[in-house]
Amino acid sequence: MFEAFGYKQLVFEPFFGGGLVTVLAIPVIYLTGVRPLFFVMLAVFVIAVLTGLFYVHPREMKDRELHTREMEQQERAATDPEPARSVPGLTPAPPGSDNEVIGHESQREAPAS
């Protein structure tokens, strides 16, 4: 009885949840033995973990930091009584300075003589 269930699973697994690795496991174990398949699966696992640590995690942290900054800016904009003027390439001056806008030196006006 259990043997029939095992063979049925070989047919159903690719379509209903397991995938090709599960289907090919029994024939590969039969042909090569358990150890080669184990070491191949171990290598795939190590590659997946290293990919997560060195590629996915830094991108996720960068995206999280960007999202946090955007949320802080939205909160400041919602609580700011007077909306700031937006000029491309220019940064608003800090409060208390005598300049209205700080920009690049090429964008500043020359002093009148």
Residue ranges per domain, the chain? 1-32
pTM over 0.95: no
pLDDT at 76: 86
pLDDT digit string (tens) for the chain, length 113 residues: 667 777 777 777 666 666 777 777 888 888 998 898 889 889 989 998 888 888 888 888 888 899 999 999 888 888 876 655 555 655 665 666 555 555 555 555 555 65
19: left (phi over 0), alpha (psi -120 to 50) or beta: left
Contact 57, 69 (CB under 8 A): no
pLDDT at 14: 66
83: left (phi over 0), alpha (psi -120 to 50) or beta: beta
pLDDT at 13: 65
Distance CA 4, CA 112 (A): 95
